[in-house]
Amino acid sequence: MEKICSVKECKNIVHGRGLCDKHYKKWQRYKDPLYTQLHHKTNTRSYSSWEHMNQRCNNVNHKHYKHYGGRGIKICERWKDFKKFYADMGDRPKNLQLDRIDNNGNYEPGNCRWVTSKINNNNKRHNIYGRKLTIKQVQEIRKLYPTHRQWWIAKRYNIGRQAVSDIVNYKTWKYA
């Protein structure tokens, strides 16, 4: 009588060490007969976002490391495993990006979401004084400034008068 593989629910015939050919090869290569190769998602948008997140936070040679890992932004322990990141975030919808709700917070469940590039670009540290302004709003402020008082503009956009001054004098939002 032929022996059956010792892996639970596997009905294949034993090859060696009590394992079928498939599980024996995994044991030889990975020292784990149940090893599964990643997740079959390496060519997906979600995996790409996860990989870029890891590079920004962990690779000191990455061009944006200084804005992420260099400022102490970390990836939670759970999300160091792509499968768990994917379980929490799911498929990245087309034309959306990974965004941290609190820019000073870490990459972790509850602080991340999929958003459009417009929302992501408005949720940056260089948006001033804790108020998120859009490029359109900055352009409006510059158009209003010659004919309206600074305090009125500040009140309308819920920002300080110094912020208005910095915007119209191109000390912030230089390229808007």
CB proximity list for 40: less than 8 A, separation 6 or greater:
none
- Listed in order, the ranges of the chain carrying CATH 1.10.10 are 128-168
* Lookup: tokens for 170: 């191109």
What is the b/e burial string over 78-107, where b = at least 16 CB atoms within 10 angstroms of the residue's CB?
ebeebeebbeebeebeeebbbbbeeeeebb
The C-alpha atoms of residue 150 and residue 95 are separated, in whole angstroms, by 38
- Residue 122: pLDDT over 90: no
Which CATH number does 128-168 carry? 1.10.10
pLDDT above 90 covers a percentage of the chain that reads 32
Q: What confidence tens digit (pLDDT) does each residue in 31-53 have?
A: 777 766 555 667 789 989 999 99
The C-alpha atoms of residue 6 and residue 10 are separated, in whole angstroms, by 7
Q: What confidence tens digit (pLDDT) does each residue in 61-99 have?
A: 889 899 899 999 999 999 998 888 988 999 999 999 999
Q: What confidence tens digit (pLDDT) does each residue in 147-169 have?
A: 999 999 988 888 888 888 988 99
**Structure pTM?**
0.54
Q: Give 120 or 19, the one with higher predicted confidence.
A: 19
Q: What are phi and psi of 131, to 5 degrees?
A: -105, 130
**Which pLDDT band, with edges at 50, 70 and 90, does 127 fall under?**
low
Choose the weakest-confidence range: 12-21, 100-109, 114-123: 114-123
Cα–Cα distance list, 57 to 69, 138, 145 (Å)? 4, 31, 40
Q: What three-state secondary structure class fits 114? A: strand
CB proximity list for 50: less than 8 A, separation 6 or greater:
79, 82, 85, 86
Instruction: Please spell the DSSP secondary structure of 53-102, one letter per residue.
Output: HHHHHH-TTSTTGGGTGGGT--B-SGGGSHHHHHHHH-SPPTT-EEEESS
